[in-house]
Amino acid sequence: MKRFRFKGLGLGVYAFLALAFLLIPIVYTFVYSFNDSLKNNIAWRGFTLHNWTNVCDAAGICDAFAASIVIGLISTVIATVLGTMIAIALMRYRFRFRSQTSLLLFLPMASPEVVLGAGLAAQFLSLSVNKGFGTIIIAHVMFCISFVVVTVKARVASLDPALEEAGRDLYGSPVAVFWRITFPLLLPGILSAALLSFSLSFDDFIITNFNAGAVTTFPMYIYIAASRGIPAQANVIASAVFIITILVVLIAQIAASSRAKRLARLS
């Protein structure tokens, strides 16, 4: 018994160290957003709030941030709609070419990003398409769809079919059953798929780099700045996005767990 406890403790310490390892660069980025730095945010020169109150001081950074937000929102909406439709079809209907469809959805996740990026760029090149906002959005939707399908599919699988049957028994039309029963039940899954899509799109560099043309997204801004020095404002934007996303995730989790507790009490 004593040995068992000690083993559990060792594993806990190990897990704590591994998590600390994962979080070190996040803490570093956050701390250095307060650095009173010159052009290059490397040496610690003292604490300041200036970077947080004057985010747009670094030339071009706010344009890049705005570009990433717009691209992220548009890509998320398109990918979430297309992916949710596929997820519902995969879980609720049998059809021919089902396994081929699954393979088609799996392959983008199993392809290195550099291949996806170079492939699209080669296609745009052969069709003489000018690269810019449109081509970035096309690329982002492409790699987000599969992740949306997997996320929503997990949610569809956990739905109780009896609820929809009850709706049909009460003479609900298929459209009414979908919008009043299926869709609300799927909504948490759809929202987390959308959040995931947005994070993937917002942070993508490798595929975007091949298809951006003259447009600079936030990750591209960092890549270009990396050779001459990153302004502390980049840390401010990244930290702010991090804090907002993590708050959304935590609130969703706490809400889900308290709902689960309520349901457990009811039944």
Partner 1 sequence: MALAAFSTATPPQQDQEPAQRRRSGIALVLLLPGVLYLVLFFLTPLVSLIITSFQAPVLDGDIGQYQAAFRWENYTEAIGEYWPQIIRSFVYAIIATAAALLISYPLAYFIGVKVRKYPLLQNLLMTLVIAPFFISFLLRTLAWKQLLSDDSWFTSSLKAISILPPDAHVTGTAFSVIFGLTYNFIPFMTLPLYSTLERLDVRYLEAGNDLYANAFTTFRKITLPLSLPGIVSGTLLTFIPAAGDYINASQDFLGGADTSMIGNVIESNFLVLQNYPTAAAMSVVLMAVILVIVGLYVRRSGTEDLL
Q: Does 61 bind partner 1 (CB under 8 A)?
A: no
Q: Which helix (DSSP H) or strand (DSSP E) does residue 265 occupy?
A: helix 232-266
CA dihedral 93, 97, 141, 254 (to 10 degrees): 40
Q: Does 55 bind partner 1 (CB under 8 A)?
A: no
Q: Does 28 bind partner 1 (CB under 8 A)?
A: yes
- Taking the complex as a whole, how short is the minimal distance between the CB of residue 241 and partner 1, in angstroms? 7
Q: Does 40 bind partner 1 (CB under 8 A)?
A: no
Among positions 110-139, residues that touch partner 1 (CB under 8 A) are: 110-116, 118-123, 125-126, 138-139
Of 67 and 120, which has the nearer Cβ to partner 1? Answer: 120
Q: Does 241 bind partner 1 (CB under 8 A)?
A: yes
Return the DSSP state at 178: I
Among positions 137-166, residues that touch partner 1 (CB under 8 A) are: 138-139, 141-142, 145, 147-151, 153-155, 157-158, 161
Distance between CA 71 and CA 133 in Å, rounded?
7
Please state the three-class secondary structure of 211-243 as a single string. HCCCCCCHHHHHHHHHCCCCCHHHHHHHHHHHH
Q: Does 48 bind partner 1 (CB under 8 A)?
A: no
Q: Does 185 bind partner 1 (CB under 8 A)?
A: no
- Taking the complex as a whole, how short is the minimal distance between the CB of residue 35 and partner 1, in angstroms? 11
Structure tokens at 208: 């975007």
The burial of 49, by beta-carbon neighbours within 10 Å (0-12 exposed, 13-18 middle, 19 or more buried), is given as exposed
